[in-house]
Structure 1
Amino acid sequence: MLGSSKKEEFSLQALQICDAFLVWAGFALASGIRWNVIDGEYTGIGLDRIAWLLFVLVPFTPLTLELFGFYRNVLNKKASAALWKVIQTATVMALVLGGCVVVFQLDPSSRLVLFFGGTFAFTFIFLRFLWVRNVLRRRVKNGASRERVVMAGLPEDIEGFVEGLPKGVTDYIEVCAEFDLGIRNPLELADLIVEKSAQRVIISPKNVLFDKIGEAVEVCETQGVEVWVAANFIRSQVARPAFDTMGEQPMLVLRSTPELSWALLAKSLLDRAFAIILILLSFPLWVFAAVGIMIADPGPVFFRQRRSGKYGKEFKMWKFRTMAVDAEAKLAQVKEQMGNQMTGPVFKLDDDPRVFRFAKILRKLSIDELPQLLNVLAGEMSIVGPRPLPVYEVKDFEKSAYRRRLSVKPGITCTWQAGGRNEITSFEEWVAMDLAYIDNWSLWLDLKIILKTIPAVLFVKGAK
């Protein structure tokens, strides 16, 4: 749809409420069949037996569908693409329910209710999608949903702006007139709005003087017509423009990192929940590592190093110690004698002489990374994110663009670790992968990286 107006937000919320009801209806139907038809109890639909399931599924299913983009560009979305979004959501909700059953020792209720309820609910949602898409396509075809728009700006700017609009937007608008702000008086825009019965004015201000833009906006205000001003007068390659207010002052905001959202809040909560679960499950490995280190190389069990966190804020990262006690003092000597396998400011050496024998086992199995779960609990790190670098390496960055990898919270695992782990030797490639993660971040991407990391660790792929 065109932009993110209040009308579209209302439409999205209406669809989410509808889908929440369909989830409830699917499980209510399954529950009624299970206990009334199959068992013959005739005790109503028996929702009290699956109350905890509904508390989880009804509100969170629509939110998860939104995270996967199920509600975006409904008009042109293929049925196969929508079905894949539904399958992704069903998978996530099944994992969440399984986690709730295991962690909180909840009653999973009848397997038949779970199976048929899930099948009914997600079938209803998919059929609802097909129906809504069909209605929208009919309305667009007969012109009922197309908004009459006047484009204002210089002719070449207007042409470039319209050509850059995706089909999912142009399907909903009808450019009924163009207004040249370069040669015409902005006051004349009022007559054009009246003549064309325009519902909205879109201004492309790329090469237009700001005083003319201000006059055009005032004209639209007097006509009671909504006016949108494109932010294409600012050249940004990555940053996404948005508007906000500071006090009563309107502000144009350019963000090159994930915007504050429910998804980010969920990431933060899941980080801490996973950290607690992983610490409990891996506790025997902590004991194994601690005892082994004390025997193999007497000294501190843990190693804490100053690392650069979000926006470069320093924190001390925990690891099991895998090097000699005086390892940092010997770094310069090792670099001089054995070189560096990684290009750029980062140091990496497969056969680092400072690593003692038992520690190689810890590194091979990634057990040395487990204490970083404490940093996750402290909110200094995430489960998934760019790996935090030592402060002295960050200070040696050759390009200021490298610092954008510091714009999000660092993580225990990341794209390059899940894929090749220590096989990457180019710092440029490493940074490129981190920036691609930042630009395309989603909870689904985090889940995929975690799922790739598990076999990478279990089969010691690329570990040194």
Structure 2
Amino acid sequence: MLGRKQEINLKLNQITDGLVIVIAFWISHKLRYDNYGGIWPDDVKIPAFKDFIWIMSIIVPFTPLVLEITGYYHHPLQKTILLSLKQYAKTLIIIGVLIGGCVVFFQKGAQSRGVLILLTLIGGGMLLAKEYLLKKFIRRQVNLGKWQEEVILAGDVEEMKNFEDRLESELSFGLKVVKKINLENSESEDLVKSLHEYSVNRVFFAAKHVSF
């Protein structure tokens, strides 16, 4: 279970992404409504922004929730742009199915495919840009010794040393080892006690021969 602080950060992140989607939706509608760049035929008009509210009522609240399900918000410092794109693509498919279901079952019109296409591109770009800026900010905080996730490290002495050396060379992990447990001369109760004492969310096992 996420710690209280992490849970709050997750909700704030989702709310921010919801606002980003609202802005992206407005921009997409504006570009299509005004036919910016003359991409679409001038005689094909689309409804006013208010007629898209029903679509927004699906996209805005559900997109951050689906992103969470796909793991989009999990360990952002350790993610690659390719993984973020895959998670975003999965989210698009699920949201597309939801919108399609509403069109079929509630007899709602799709209004404008052009707006949705623009939203996919603009919204995706804005979400990825926001994630990039957030990662940059967090890395800066990590380098300053702030915003580090506290973890417990368990294993043999040599492998734990290698793990810590790797953390020092790759600060972007954002991890801080608060307790080390040598599995060779410790009992399982020591790990349980440390979990309660430090209230960490993750335990890393650094051992050559560990089986579960």
TM-score by length of 1: 0.35
Q: Residues 227 and 47 (structure 1 numbering): CA distance in 2 closer, same or farther, change over 3 Å?
A: same
1:16 is matched with 14
Matching residue within 96, 105, 108 for 1:106: 108
CA contact (8 A) 2:139 2:171 kept: no
**1:206 aligned onto 2:206:** no
Structure 2: how far apart are the matches of 1:7 and 1:124? 25
Q: Residues 231 and 118 (structure 1 numbering): CA distance in 2 closer, same or farther, change over 3 Å?
A: closer
Given residue 132 of structure 1, which amino acid in structure 2 is its aligned partner? L
- 1:54 alignment partner, SS class: helix
Matching residue within 79, 86, 89 for 2:88: 86
For residue 119 of structure 1, report the CA deviation from its aligned partner: 1.9
Q: Residues 175 and 89 (structure 1 numbering): CA distance in 2 closer, same or farther, change over 3 Å?
A: closer
CA contact (8 A) 1:157 1:206 kept: no
Matches within 5 A, 1:428-439: none
1:55 is matched with 57
Q: Residues 92 and 230 (structure 1 numbering): CA distance in 2 closer, same or farther, change over 3 Å?
A: closer
Per-residue CA distance 1:81-137 (angstroms, 9 max, x = gap): 111111111122122212221222101112221211222112211111122122222
CA contact (8 A) 1:101 1:107 kept: yes
> What is the Cα-based RMSD across aligned positions, in Å?
4.3
Q: Residues 170 and 86 (structure 1 numbering): CA distance in 2 closer, same or farther, change over 3 Å?
A: closer
Question: Sequence identity of aligned pairs in percent?
Answer: 25
Structure 2: how far apart are the matches of 1:209 and 1:50? 54
Matches within 5 A, 1:328-339: none
Q: Tell me, which stretches of 5 or more residues in structure 2 are unaligned?
A: 37-41, 205-210
Structure ranking higher on relative contact order (CA contacts 8 Å, 6+ apart): 2
CA contact (8 A) 1:100 1:106 kept: yes
Q: Residues 157 and 62 (structure 1 numbering): CA distance in 2 closer, same or farther, change over 3 Å?
A: same
- 2:102 alignment partner, SS class: helix
CA contact (8 A) 2:139 2:174 kept: no
Matching residue within 116, 119, 122 for 1:117: 119
Q: Residues 131 and 169 (structure 1 numbering): CA distance in 2 closer, same or farther, change over 3 Å?
A: closer
Q: Tell me, which stretches of 5 or more residues in structure 1 are unaligned?
A: 40-44, 181-203, 221-225, 238-464
Structure 2: how far apart are the matches of 1:57 and 1:81? 21
For residue 27 of structure 1, report the CA deviation from its aligned partner: 1.1
Matching residue within 113, 129, 132 for 1:130: 132
CA contact (8 A) 1:27 1:118 kept: no
Given residue 9 of structure 1, which amino acid in structure 2 is its aligned partner? E
Aligned length: 193
Q: Residues 163 and 65 (structure 1 numbering): CA distance in 2 closer, same or farther, change over 3 Å?
A: farther
- 1:71 alignment partner, SS class: coil
Structure 2: how far apart are the matches of 1:90 and 1:156? 41
Q: Residues 50 and 140 (structure 1 numbering): CA distance in 2 closer, same or farther, change over 3 Å?
A: same
Matches within 5 A, 1:309-324: none
Structure 2: how far apart are the matches of 1:209 and 1:66? 29
TM-score by length of 2: 0.70
For residue 205 of structure 1, report the CA deviation from its aligned partner: 6.0
For residue 160 of structure 1, report the CA deviation from its aligned partner: 7.9
Given residue 57 of structure 2, which amino acid in structure 1 is its aligned partner? F
For residue 174 of structure 1, report the CA deviation from its aligned partner: 3.1
Per-residue CA distance 1:395-421 (angstroms, 9 max, x = gap): xxxxxxxxxxxxxxxxxxxxxxxxxxx
CA contact (8 A) 2:78 2:173 kept: no
Q: Residues 161 and 8 (structure 1 numbering): CA distance in 2 closer, same or farther, change over 3 Å?
A: farther
More helix, by proportion: 2
- 2:77 alignment partner, SS class: coil
Q: Residues 161 and 11 (structure 1 numbering): CA distance in 2 closer, same or farther, change over 3 Å?
A: farther
Bigger radius of gyration: 1
Given residue 22 of structure 1, which amino acid in structure 2 is its aligned partner? V
Matching residue within 23, 26, 38 for 2:24: 26
Structure 2: how far apart are the matches of 1:34 and 1:75? 35
Q: Residues 25 and 142 (structure 1 numbering): CA distance in 2 closer, same or farther, change over 3 Å?
A: same
